[in-house]
Amino acid sequence: MVKTQPSIAEIWTWLDAVPDPEIPVVSVVDLGIVRGVAREGGKIVVTITPTYSGCPATSVISFEVERALREKGLEDVELRRQLSPAWTTDWIARKGRDKLEEYGIAPPSPAGGPERCPRCGERDLERISQFGSTPCKAQWRCKSCLEPFDYFKCI
């Protein structure tokens, strides 16, 4: 049991440690999936927007968010799913984009394709397939280092 009420900022810090189940190098906060944290009376309410309404990871994300908060001693937790406005890759935090690239996944770009190879940094790229390891990614290849890589599609 929590002896003192944690601050909302502290709860955000705890949630920032919850990894995305499909791309574990980024957190659910990095991806912008967690839209809000509020206190309603003695209850903590966390609002989550899935990356798309049919995302298979949504239930796992909700479970992991609730589990992380309960492990910190919070007992009265409510998760709310918010579908509108729809999630967009614009919500991915700068540090999340950096983590994606460090991991070898090109972050989303308004240009409609990766800006550079996440492995060598070169810009001579070609799309291999519109479909990657998950529905939100496409498969690209660098013509310089010849390495294939995932590109996180703009949504």
For 85-124, the pLDDT digits (tens) are: 999 999 999 999 999 999 999 999 988 899 999 999 999 9
CA atoms within 13 A on the CB side of 122: 14
- Exposure string of 109-120, with b = 16+ CB inside 10 Å and e = fewer, is beeeebbbbbbe
**CA 135 to the chain's CA centroid:** 14
DSSP 122: -
Task: State the pLDDT confidence band at 2, using cuts at 50, 70 and 90.
Answer: very low
Which comes out higher in pLDDT, residue 58 or 55? 58
For 58-94, the pLDDT digits (tens) are: 999 999 999 999 999 999 999 999 999 999 999 999 9
pTM score, whole prediction: 0.88
pLDDT at 3: 59
What tokens appear for 130 in the block?
Answer: 């519109």
All domains of the chain in start order, with CATH: 8-89 (3.30.300.130), 104-152 (no CATH)
